Amino acid sequence: MWPPTDRIQIGDYGILDGNWFRKKVGNITKDFGVPVVPSELSSTSDQELKIGKSVEVKSIAKGSAENAKASLSINFSNGSGVFFKAANCINQSIDNYKEIGDNLLNLSSEKKWNNNFVVVTEVMSAGATTIIISESNQASIEIQANSDSVPSIDLVNANLDVSIVSSKNIAYNLFMKDGLIPLIGLSKIQKKLWHSSFDTKSLVDMNTFLDNAKEKGIKANDAVYFGRLAGN
């Protein structure tokens, strides 16, 4: 995860802190001359994702007994969770993945690349995007249309004017923001499975891992590869 309002493009690289892409350091083309060939843009339908148990979205139409104006609530009844919805999603990746990997492995062998860096190799841009992250049990948030002419709240409508009327145990909220990059794919230099037990420190520090491999007479490119990170 990362701040979805940040401007990120394929070829950017930075630091991964747990599951957070926290800091963009630079771009591999600008900083190292590594060419990036972008793929053609591919459009997909609207995307919706719920992570966690018991994530409920409830829409209340205008003029109902519960409310004079249209409203919508998102409830997380059990622990932390995420609700995500994005409109008009467009995906882009890289067409020269192997070439990028080879270049970074060569830079690594020359001690010019920090092997703990991750590289953005896929991005999904979107229109109206809503992201809600809860922080504990019984979290909820409710929004209401500011105009009584709105029949119901459609989260893919970036022009809809709404206000938050209640919020409880919500860590992050963003409603119907246009022009974001809500999802990215990351890749980095990783250990090959048969060279995964040199040192416990190598589990978190790739540079330490390669130093240990060198001490054992194993070439860097035989111990590591450039590949996509699972879950990003």
pLDDT digits (tens, 9 = 90+) for 97-143: 989 988 998 898 898 999 889 999 998 888 899 999 998 888 999 99
Calculate mean pLDDT across residues 189-206. 46
Residue 175 lies in a domain: yes
Calculate mean pLDDT across residues 63-73. 79
- Structural domain of 176: 12-228
Q: What is the CA angle 61-63-69, rounded to 5?
A: 70
Residue 71 confidence class, pLDDT cut points 50, 70, 90:
very high
Residue 145 lies in a domain: yes
Which pairing describes strands 180-191 and 118-126: parallel, antiparallel, or unpaired? antiparallel
Residue 103: the pLDDT is 92
Residue 1 lies in a domain: no
Q: Which residues pair with 43 in a beta bridge?
A: 90
- 48 pLDDT more than 50: yes
Higher pLDDT, 5 or 43: 43
Residue 87 lies in a domain: yes
In tens, the pLDDT along 131-176 reads: 999 988 889 999 999 988 899 999 989 888 999 999 999 998 999 8
Residue 42: the pLDDT is 84
Residue 85 lies in a domain: yes
- 2 pLDDT more than 80: no
Residue 2 lies in a domain: no
- 196 pLDDT more than 50: no
Calculate mean pLDDT across residues 189-202. 47
Residue 3 lies in a domain: no
Residue 74: the pLDDT is 94
CA 59/CA 131 separation, integer angstroms: 16
How many domains are contained in the chain?
1
- 201 pLDDT more than 50: no
H or E, element range at 24: strand 20-27
Residue whose C-alpha is closest to residue 123's, from 83, 148, 101, 94: 94
Residue whose C-alpha is closest to residue 83's, from 17, 179, 171: 171
CA distance between the termini of the chain: 8
Q: What is the average pLDDT value for the chain, to the nearest integer?
A: 81
Residue 48 lies in a domain: yes
Residue 170: the pLDDT is 93
Residue 197: the pLDDT is 34
What proportion of the chain, given as a percentage, has pLDDT over 70? 78
Residue 229 confidence class, pLDDT cut points 50, 70, 90:
confident
User: Token digits for 194?
Assistant: 């048969």
